[in-house]
Amino acid sequence: MHTKSKPFPGFLSSYKHEIILAFCWLLVQLILFYQHGIQTDFEARKYIEQADLLLTTGSVSTPNFWLYSIQIFLIAAVKKLQTGFISVVIIQWLFNLCAAWALYKFSTRIANKTTGLIIALLFIFNFPLQTFNSFLQTESLFYSFTILFSCYLLSLQHLNWKKFIVILLLLIVISFTRPTGLLWIPCTFLYLFFHFFKGFPLLLKISITGVAAIGFLFFLNLALGSGGELDFILPFRDEMIICGVPTLSHPADVTTSQDQNSIAGLAWYITHHFSSFCQLAWLRSRAFWGLTRSYYSNGHNLYLALYFYPVYLLSLPGIRQWARKNGPLLLYCLSLIFLTWGAVMLTCDDWHNRFLLSVVPYIYILAIPPVQYIINKIKSDSRSDEPFLK
């Protein structure tokens, strides 16, 4: 006599990783929403004010705010439709959930399901990053958009003109979510160049690289000179380590012969105040990678150290494995990390570590090979001696 199988336990067994992810994601969002609610203070005020201005005048106060226009348009739409700020939070939750799923599927595809689960859980339990999901700021959408874009880009098997246009459109969306989205442009073209353009004629490769470089510098210089709050010499005048927190009682004299809010102005400062620049770059680097802050509680600083520092260490052996298995992917991740780090050295670090949080997903990706190796060793199965990546 055969016992009829029960479909529900079978479903649980087949989708246990997905169920774990869904439960953990929901739990984290509920805890953080209960703790913070819908946050309309701090930087969110700026975007709400600009959304009001957009609805009444059809424009924003200064050109630099167009570089945050995705969030401003979203808030303006919610206000126009009168659906309440909870609508913004729900949209941010949905994109965050999609980003967690994309990381899980990407990691599963190149390693295994358990590795994908661990990488996605690292993202979900990144409380500093997840906290922004209920803030009416740009960070939540920016983190989600960049993760979704990167997982799409790194999963491409073939490149054609349709996919290339999709990549360009996604880069535009990212660049108008936050100005730092511009950093994804050169990194993307580096990846495309080394992964897909190998067989292209030399003249075509040079042309594509040249156009990409000129376009990046043009938009970067445009962003630097867009006015408003984007004063890129201010952190040097006040010798800021953390943005908005001067370390000098009187601003230093860093008057340049160039337009200060330009690439030329930054280059002039560095070449004429090199020792001061190096000292500030070192202190900003410590803040960027160290994460802990004097104004955080001991418990908060302990969480940051226990959560992030092991991930740093896990990523280091992963660099060697990626160099052997997928050099273009390694170049993409490292270029994003180093460009963001470089941007902090040229400006200042964020009060809440938002700049590092934007590149933490790429540290997770670098850590995939060691995570897979550890999992296989724990399981002690036949796969333990296999290469780290499929």
Q: What is the DSSP string of 50-82?
A: HHHHHHHHSS-SSGGGGGGHHHHHHHHHHHHHT
For the residues 250-258, what does the mean pLDDT come to? 53
**Residue whose structure tokens are 């990546």:** 389
C-beta of residue 312 within 8 angstroms of C-beta of residue 334: no
The structure tokens listed for 180 are 């730092």
Query: Where are the chain's structural domains?
Result: 11-385
C-beta of residue 185 within 8 angstroms of C-beta of residue 213: no
pLDDT of residue 267: 72
| Residue 262 Cα distances to 61, 156, 230, 242, 267, angstroms | 21, 35, 11, 21, 9
pLDDT of residue 252: 53
**pLDDT (tens digit per residue) in 308-343:** 999 999 999 999 999 998 999 999 999 999 999 988
For the residues 164-193, what does the mean pLDDT come to? 91
Q: Report d(CA 28, CA 25) in Å as an integer.
A: 5
Averaged confidence pLDDT in the chain: 84
Lowest mean pLDDT among 110-114, 121-125, 171-175, 209-213: 209-213
pLDDT of residue 208: 65
Residue 349 has pLDDT above 90, yes or no: no
For the residues 31-46, what does the mean pLDDT come to? 91
Q: What percent of the chain has pLDDT over 70?
A: 78
Closest listed residue to residue 29, CA positions, set 132, 139, 146:
132
The structure tokens listed for 286 are 């410590």
Residue 384 has pLDDT above 50, yes or no: no
Burial class (CB in 10 A: 0-12, 13-18, 19+), 12: exposed
Quickly state the pLDDT bin for 265 (edges 50, 70, 90): low
Lowest mean pLDDT among 48-62, 188-202, 251-265, 370-384: 251-265
Size (the chain), residues: 390
Q: Report d(CA 315, CA 329) in Å as an integer.
A: 14
| Top-ranked range on mean pLDDT: pick from 194-198, 211-215, 299-303 | 299-303
Which helix (H) or strand (E) element contains residue 243? none
Write phi, then psi, for 52 (nearest 5 degrees).
-60, -40
Q: Helix (H, G, I), strand (E, B), or coil: what is residue 125?
A: coil
pLDDT of residue 43: 86
- Higher model confidence: residue 285 or residue 2? 285
* C-alpha angle 34-38-42 in degrees, rounded to nearest 5: 120
For the residues 141-166, what does the mean pLDDT come to? 94
Global pTM exceeds 0.95: no
| Residue 59 Cα distances to 44, 63, 167, 313, angstroms | 18, 9, 28, 46
Q: Report d(CA 50, CA 60) in Å as an integer.
A: 6
Quickly state the pLDDT bin for 279 (edges 50, 70, 90): confident
pLDDT of residue 74: 95
For the residues 165-185, what does the mean pLDDT come to? 92
| Residue 196 Cα distances to 89, 185, 266, 332, 390, angstroms | 38, 16, 34, 13, 20
Q: Report d(CA 120, CA 190) in Å as an integer.
A: 26
pLDDT of residue 274: 77
pLDDT of residue 234: 64
Residues 6+ apart with CB under 8 A from 140: 92, 95, 96, 132, 133
For the residues 79-93, what does the mean pLDDT come to? 94
pLDDT of residue 90: 96
Residue 259 has pLDDT above 90, yes or no: no
pLDDT of residue 1: 47
Q: Helix (H, G, I), strand (E, B), or coil: what is residue 105?
A: helix
For the residues 195-213, what does the mean pLDDT come to? 68
Which amino acid, 160?
A: N
Residue 139 has pLDDT above 90, yes or no: yes
> Chain centroid to CA 91: how far?
18
pLDDT of residue 383: 47
Quickly state the pLDDT bin for 202 (edges 50, 70, 90): low
Name the CA radius of gyration of the chain, rounded: 23
C-beta of residue 191 within 8 angstroms of C-beta of residue 329: yes
For the residues 189-209, what does the mean pLDDT come to? 73
pLDDT of residue 352: 87
Residue 269 has pLDDT above 90, yes or no: no
Q: Report d(CA 213, CA 216) in Å as an integer.
A: 5
pLDDT of residue 203: 67
